[in-house]
C-alpha cells in the first residue's frame, strides 16, 4: 500500500501530514526523524513504515489520514506572524534541529528572525529571593547589551524577570510554552506575552494551538529552551527545581551550563551549588559566559553545513537502562523507577522524557508503561 497526496495541494496537505505524524501514538520525534531521513513524507508505503519499526496499529493510523482533520490547526497560522515550522522548514531553528529528539513541528508566534539570533537561556526559581531577582536583572541586562536574545519559559519568578528585563533593555526575548499558543500560562503573563511579540520576540510551542497546559508538558518544554540556545544560565534553583531539568537537557545536548552561586543558607541556591559540583561553570558576571561561548557564529555555521548529529544506538544511550525498570503489563510510578534504578527522581524524570520521545514508553495516569516497540 502506498498513499500519495495530490500535487495540486501539496503545500497544505504536506503540512497536514507533518501534523499527522506527530499525532501517531508511540511515534516520537526520534522515530519520526529517522523515518524521514530515509523516505519522503508525501509517499510512505506500508512496507517502509514496517521496516522502520511501526506496528500494524500505527500503520493503520497513518493511512487513516484526512487533511480536513488538521485544517483548524493550519488555519491558526493564517493570522499575521503565526507560523508552523516542520523539521525541514528553512526557518526551523538551526541549533534545535541538531538535538536528538527535537520536535518534528514547532508553532511560532512572532518574528522568525529571532529564532536564529544568538540566544542564552535564563532559568531559575519560581519563588526567587531579592538577590535572585537582582542577579537575573543584572545578567540579563548585560547579555542583551552583548547582543543575546533571552530565552526562557514564561514562568513566574526568574523566567518572568528575565523576559521583562530583556524588554526593558530594548532586547528581544523568546518564551517557550508548555501549552498551545492559543493559551498563555500562567494567565497573569498574558500582557508580558503580548509585549514579547510587540518588541520583536517570539512565543514557541511544540503543542497544537488549543492544547491546555499539563504538568508533564513542561519538562518537554525545557528541552526546547536548552536546545534553542548555546548555553543555559541557572539563577537560584532548589534541589528539586524544574530548572535543573533544563540544565540536564543542556548537558545532554552538549550545550554550556552556567550557575550563579548563592549564600550557603539559601535553600534556593542548593540546586546551583549541585550543578557546580557536577561541572557547571560558576559565573559571577557575563564576562565569564562570553569567555565560554564567544564561538556562537562558528557554531551556527558548522551546524548549518553538517546537518543533524548522528544518532547513537539506543543501547548506548544513558537513559536506555531505565527501560528495564518500566513494566509493559502495569503502570510503574516515577518513585518506583527511581528506587529500582537508584537514580535521583529529577534525573529519572529527564530520562523518562527522552524515552517517551523515542516512543519506547507512554505517560499514563500514575506513571509510565512500556510500549510494544521497546
C-alpha grid cell for residue 257? 551550563
Instruction: Answer for the pair 228, 121: CB distance below 8 angstroms, yes or no.
Output: yes
CA-CA distances (angstroms) from residue 83 to 90, 199, 205? 12, 17, 11
Q: pLDDT tens, 183-212?
A: 999 999 999 999 999 999 999 999 999 999
Range of the domain at 333: 319-370
Whether residues 179 and 280 fall in one domain: yes
- The overall longest dimension of the chain from CA atoms, in Å, is 66
Lowest average pLDDT, out of 55-64, 90-99, 261-270, 365-374, goes to: 365-374
Which residues, in sequence order, are CB contacts of 162 under 8 Å at separation 6+?
122, 123, 136, 140, 150, 152, 173
C-alpha grid cell for residue 179? 501549552
For residue 307, tell me if it sits in a domain. no
State the pLDDT at residue 327.
76
State the pLDDT at residue 358.
64
C-alpha grid cell for residue 221? 518544554
Q: What is the CATH number of the domain that holds 358?
A: 1.10.10.10
Half-sphere exposure at residue 101, Cβ-oriented, CA atoms within 13 angstroms: 25
Does the bond joining 366 to the residue before it have cis omega, within 30 degrees of 0? no
Whether residues 211 and 265 fall in one domain: yes
Whether residues 44 and 122 fall in one domain: no
State the pLDDT at residue 339.
76
The tally of domains found in the chain comes to: 3
For residue 301, tell me if it sits in a domain. no
For residue 331, tell me if it sits in a domain. yes
Which DSSP category does 126 fall into?
A: S
C-alpha grid cell for residue 358? 523515542
Mean confidence (pLDDT) of the chain: 85
pLDDT reading at 9 higher than 60: no
pTM for this structure? 0.78
State the pLDDT at residue 333.
79
Neighbours of 103 (CB within 10 A): 27
Whether residues 17 and 158 fall in one domain: no
Lowest average pLDDT, out of 173-177, 288-292, 302-306, goes to: 302-306
C-alpha grid cell for residue 354? 527522552
Amino acid at each position: 500500500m502506498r498513499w500519495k497526496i495530490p500535487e495540486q495541494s501539496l503545500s497544505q496537505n504536506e503540512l497536514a501530514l507533518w501534523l499527522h505524524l506527530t499525532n501517531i501514538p508511540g511515534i516520537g520525534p526520534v522515530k519520526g526523524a529517522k523515518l524521514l531521513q530515509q523516505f519522503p513524507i508525501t509517499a510512505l508505503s506500508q512496507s517502509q513504515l514496517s521496516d522502520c519499526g511501526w506496528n500494524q496499529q500505527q500503520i493503520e493510523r497513518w493511512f487513516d489520514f484526512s487533511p480536513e482533520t488538521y485544517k483548524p490547526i493550519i488555519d491558526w497560522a493564517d493570522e499575521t506572524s503565526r507560523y508552523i515550522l516542520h523539521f525541514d522548514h528553512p526557518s526551523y531553528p538551526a541549533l534545535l534541529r541538531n538535538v536528538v529528539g527535537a520536535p518534528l513541528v514547532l508553532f511560532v508566534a512572532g518574528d522568525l528572525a529571532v529564532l536564529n539570533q544568538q540566544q542564552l537561556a535564563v532559568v531559575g526559581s519560581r519563588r526567587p529571593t531579592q538577590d535572585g531577582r537582582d542577579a537575573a536583572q543584572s545578567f540579563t541586562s548585560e547579555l542583551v547589551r552583548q547582543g543575546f536574545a533571552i530565552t526562557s519559559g514564561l514562568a513566574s519568578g526568574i523566567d518572568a524577570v528575565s523576559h521583562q528585563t530583556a524588554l526593558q533593555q530594548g532586547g528581544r526575548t523568546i518564551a517557550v510554552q508548555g501549552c498551545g499558543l492559543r493559551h498563555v500560562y500562567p494567565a497573569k503573563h498574558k500582557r508580558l506575552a503580548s509585549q514579547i511579540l510587540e518588541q520583536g520576540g517570539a512565543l514557541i510551542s511544540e503543542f497544537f494551538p488549543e492544547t491546555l497546559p499539563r504538568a508533564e508538558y513542561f519538562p518537554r518544554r525545557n528541552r526546547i529552551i536548552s536546545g534553542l540556545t548555546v548555553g543555559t544560565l541557572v539563577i537560584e534553583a532548589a534541589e528539586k527545581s524544574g530548572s535543573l531539568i533544563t540544565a540536564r537537557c543542556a548537558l545532554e545536548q552538549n550545550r554550556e551550563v552556567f550557575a550563579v552561586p548563592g549564600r550557603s543558607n539559601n535553600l534556593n541556591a542548593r540546586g546551583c551549588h549541585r550543578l557546580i559540583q557536577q561541572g557547571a561553570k560558576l559565573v559571577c558576571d557575563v564576562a565569564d559566559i562570553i569567555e565560554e561561548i564567544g564561538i556562537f557564529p562558528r557554531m551556527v555555521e558548522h551546524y548549518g553545513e553538517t546537518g543533524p548529529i548522528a544518532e547513537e544506538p539506543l543501547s548506548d544511550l544513558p537513559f536506555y537502562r531505565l527501560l528495564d525498570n518500566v513494566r509493559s503489563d502495569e503502570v510503574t510510578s516515577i518513585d518506583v523507577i527511581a528506587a529500582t534504578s537508584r537514580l535521583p527522581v529529577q534525573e529519572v524524570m529527564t530520562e523518562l522524557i527522552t524515552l517517551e520521545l523515542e516512543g519506547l514508553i507512554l505517560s499514563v495516569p500514575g506513571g509510565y508503561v512500556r510500549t510494544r516497540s521497546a
